[in-house]
Structure 1
Amino acid sequence: MQEILFLKPVFQEKIWGGTALRDKFNYDLQSNQTGECWAISAHPNGDCEIINGELKGKRLSEVWQDNRDLFNHDDSPVFPLLTKILDANKDLSVQVHPDDEYGMKHENELGKTECWYIIDCKEDAEMVFGHNAHTKEELEHMIKNGEWNSFLRRIEIKPGDFFYVPTGTIHALCEGTLVLETQQSSDTTYRVYDYDRRDPDGNTRELHIRQAMDVTTVPHRETLPTKTVKRYEDSEIITYVNSDYFTVEKWNIKDKLRLDFDQSYMLVSVLNGKGYLNEEKIEKGNHFIITAQTQELILNGDLELMVSYIEKN
């Protein structure tokens, strides 16, 4: 069976999307409001197609169900991870995600812990991260009275920043931000505030105030990732987070790096550069899964890779 599964991304238009996915990654996109690239996904709302090898033409969800040997016989009922690139050309809604228990009970899908690597952003860019309510009663009062300036916490961001966003965290990407997102495989989002904006038909988007108040962590809990770096001659692997949900790393490859492959499977996105992985050509904008059939990784070239996986038990 295959060592590497290359995937065809699924693109989603959004009211806040732009052209960065076309401009910076050279994806063939006609829309000027492409907000999301579902780069590695088996979720029903964006199920990626395999584009190489003997499994070419199959959807990732199908491969997951029928070929568990490629994933070290992971027994998760659904493919557990999802990689996206988000083009926040305009502000995203202020939102929050449920945990697994709430998500399964109310939405019949996983909760959504996620994290962001800031690929690029405009000067003086910021994001919403957390809130200032100290009790559930204060949370309800500030939301229902629209006290957004005092309720929302805003922080400045810059390219290369990384943020871990557990379930229950009020958050929003803001205008002028390009992000690689690693998350649980879920599409459940509870909107708290959407700036009262309207779609081309004059309609406002649905809010989910009751659900948001149910799942928001109060008071806000700071979750700063602990960054560690391993160096291999001129290359390095930066680990940003190692949680129960996923480990996320950035691999900066210079010239050549050889590693034993000791995980069940890995999700990889090429952010910059070009080169080879085990003699397979890879370049900026590629997304692929390294399967359990792999024993060794040989990387050649000048590459920036975002890598995610779930630690073996």
Structure 2
Amino acid sequence: MNEPLFLKAVLQEKIWGGTKLKDVFGYDLPSDKVGECWAISAHPNGPSTILNGPYQGMTLAEVWEKHRDVFGNAKGDVFPLLTKILDANDDLSVQVHPDDAYGLAHEGELGKTECWYVIDADEGAEIIYGHHAQTKEELETMIREGKWNDLLRRIKVKKGDFFFVPSGTIHAIGAGIMILETQQSSDTTYRVYDYDRKGDDGKPRELHIQQSVDVTTVPHVDAASDIKTEKLENVEITSYIKTDFFDVYQWKITGKAAFEATAPYTLVSVLEGEGTLSVEAGDYPLHKGTHFILPNEIKNWSIDGTLQIIASTP
């Protein structure tokens, strides 16, 4: 497979969603309450479809299952990563995700470690990141007594910020924030608090207090940050994070930039601009909102144009 795999995203309606995925990226939305674009996904709750080449019309999950050579014969039952764009028109629920051991034992799927690149944020917008409890007992007491202002850590954010959110971290994206999220391929979320909102059925949305207490890291520890930027010919590469689950980079391209593969395959999302991707098999137009995978056979490529890209590798 010497062509990139371009992907058709899956759009997910959410109680807290809005219209920015159309306004900013031009996606055709089913309603004005779309919260998530599952851009590169093999998860059964929203698998992306291949748009080009010999696997056109297949889902990413099917290609992973039947053509593992595309991914360098990588191990694992499931495609490990999921790239999303989230439009938080309203506050998301306060939540926490399990690690792999708890997720597999209790939910039958991987846990969820994730990271966020802030595409845009309204003035004064905030996230919830971590908590102030010192013991599990204190955490559970504060949750059950609803002492949210004492418990939750709030952080103001701006465009271009980056946050690593390991499993066990209490977190929430606040209203007015748009992010690109790189995460493990998991849809297990434990809600700690949801502002007493009601779902489409008119009933309060389900909370998962016991599971949340079980999996939350206590006391909270801020993830270490080791962001590095290097300037090469016509590209500035920022390395945001290297973990057991994913490495995440930003490529700021101005002109023609050459790249070499550093992993069996690479996930790519264009956040700004337009240009051309060139591989041995040919040239492919890129524009804001394009998502694709560079398979194992493509060891070298170039991108020409003015673009801002977030890339990740397993």
Q: Which residue of 2 aligns with 1:297?
A: 301
**Mean Cα displacement is larger for which, 260-269 or 241-250?**
260-269
For residue 198 of structure 1, report the CA deviation from its aligned partner: 1.3
Runs of 4+ in 1 over 4 A off after TM superposition: none
Whether the aligned pair in 2 keeps the contact of 1:2 and 1:53 (CA below 8 Å) is: no
State how 1:1-313 maps to structure 2 within 5 Å: 1-278=1-278, 279-310=283-314
Whether the aligned pair in 2 keeps the contact of 1:131 and 1:170 (CA below 8 Å) is: yes
TM-score, normalising length from structure 2? 0.97
Letter in 2 for 1:115: C
Q: Share of identical aligned residues, percent? A: 57
Whether the aligned pair in 2 keeps the contact of 1:191 and 1:208 (CA below 8 Å) is: yes
Whether the aligned pair in 2 keeps the contact of 1:2 and 1:54 (CA below 8 Å) is: no
Whether the aligned pair in 2 keeps the contact of 1:17 and 1:36 (CA below 8 Å) is: yes
1:81-102, Cα deviation, whole Å (9 max, x unpaired): 0000000000000000000000
Letter in 2 for 1:141: T
Within 2, Cα distance between the matches of 1:30 and 1:74?
35
Aligned with 2:24: secondary structure? Answer: helix
Aligned with 1:43: secondary structure? Answer: coil
For residue 192 of structure 1, report the CA deviation from its aligned partner: 0.2
Stretches of structure 1 that go unaligned for 5 or more consecutive residues are: none
1:172-217, Cα deviation, whole Å (9 max, x unpaired): 0000000000000000000000000113442111000000000000
Within 1, Cα distance between the matches of 2:210 and 2:23?
39
Stretches of structure 2 that go unaligned for 5 or more consecutive residues are: none
Letter in 1 for 2:152: L
Letter in 2 for 1:89: N
Within 1, Cα distance between the matches of 2:249 and 2:259?
15
**Mean Cα displacement is larger for which, 278-287 or 161-170?**
278-287
For residue 3 of structure 1, report the CA deviation from its aligned partner: 2.5
For residue 263 of structure 1, report the CA deviation from its aligned partner: 1.7
1:38-62, Cα deviation, whole Å (9 max, x unpaired): 0000000001100001110001000
For residue 75 of structure 1, report the CA deviation from its aligned partner: 1.0
For residue 224 of structure 1, report the CA deviation from its aligned partner: 3.6
Within 1, Cα distance between the matches of 2:261 and 2:217?
37
Letter in 2 for 1:202: G
**In angstroms, what is the RMSD of aligned CA positions?**
0.9
For residue 293 of structure 1, report the CA deviation from its aligned partner: 1.1
1:234-279, Cα deviation, whole Å (9 max, x unpaired): 3111000001110000000110111222320000000011101111
TM-score, normalising length from structure 1? 0.98
Within 2, Cα distance between the matches of 1:264 and 1:71?
6
**Mean Cα displacement is larger for which, 293-302 or 106-115?**
293-302
Within 2, Cα distance between the matches of 1:242 and 1:198?
38
Within 2, Cα distance between the matches of 1:190 and 1:56?
35
Within 1, Cα distance between the matches of 2:104 and 2:250?
31
1:18-71, Cα deviation, whole Å (9 max, x unpaired): 000000001111410000000000000001100001110001000001111110
